[in-house]
Chain A
């Protein structure tokens, strides 16, 4: 099972703001390792959305933003649009012995 916990689902109306949490521990997020976020649109390949906690790759709208504090990180989507309906995953590095790269449990965002 994943060591990064996300809410299974969230929903919002177009134009609203939604925030996805990613809760880890002292061996991953709390140890200072970067958090990255991926968007997986229905039936497609995951795509890097946010890297290094807060950075957007070229081409990612500024409606998407990331933050980190303590043992948790968050992805915020402001001005929610229909095309944002997707699964979102956080990912970090873990210093424990059970596997170094860890993904969050994933959050399904539904646009009402």
Chain B
């Protein structure tokens, strides 16, 4: 079945880096754009970044622009989020989601990132 599985979350100190991964299965990964969406504790959903199916076009939320980088390896059916200069406000559950006509139709279970000293 269609599935997205995130990994790579953890506890990290402010200013450090972390890389999240999202393994896709059950669909043709290289035909879909992919998103990262996050949810801070007790808060709403916040879109983070998107990457087009071929990987050449990317876009970011202002809150992470210049610090986060989205990428993908279509040969490995895997999406990545490289997070640098992490701040306390980046603490959240990070979800990867599949794009279908500008909606997110499949979501992973999420991975938790805690930025704390």
Give which listed residue, B95, B101, B102, contacts A46 with CB less than 8 A.
B95
A57 and B110 contact, CB distance less than 8 A: no
Chain A residues with CB under 8 A of B85: none
State whether the Cβ of A68 lies closer than 8 Å to any Cβ in chain B: no
- Tell me the minimal C-beta distance from B99 to chain A in angstroms: 9
Tell me, in angstroms, the Cα distance from A91 to B50 when the chains sit together. 14
State whether the Cβ of A42 lies closer than 8 Å to any Cβ in chain B: no
- Tell me the minimal C-beta distance from A13 to chain B in angstroms: 26
**B contact residues, total (Cβ < 8 Å):** 21
Chain A residues with CB under 8 A of B102: 33-34, 36, 92-93, 101
- Interface segment, one of B13-21, B24-32, B58-66, B68-76: B58-66
Chain A residues with CB under 8 A of B35: 101
- Tell me the minimal C-beta distance from A92 to chain B in angstroms: 8
Residue of B44, B107, B108 most packed against chain A (CB within 10 A) = B44
B44 and A52 contact, CB distance less than 8 A: no
Chain A residues with CB under 8 A of B61: 99
Chain B residues with CB under 8 A of A34: 101-103
State whether the Cβ of A48 lies closer than 8 Å to any Cβ in chain B: yes
Interface digits, A63-97 against B, CB 8 Å rule (1 contact, 0 not)?
A: 00000000000000000000000010101110000
Chain A residues with CB under 8 A of B59: 99-101
Residue of B nearest to A106 (CB): B44
- Known contacts A93-B102, A100-B59; A45 and B45 CB within 8 A of each other: no
- Tell me the minimal C-beta distance from A60 to chain B in angstroms: 12
Which B residues fall within an 8 A CB radius of A? 35, 37, 44-47, 50, 59-62, 95, 101-105, 107-110
Given contacts A48-B103, A99-B59, A101-B50, list 5 more A-B pairs with CB under 8 A.
A34-B102, A45-B107, A46-B95, A51-B101, A51-B103
User: What are 19 A-B pairs with beta-carbon distances under 8 A?
Assistant: A34-B102, A38-B104, A40-B45, A45-B107, A46-B107, A48-B103, A52-B103, A91-B47, A93-B102, A98-B62, A99-B47, A99-B62, A100-B47, A100-B50, A101-B35, A101-B47, A101-B50, A101-B59, A105-B44
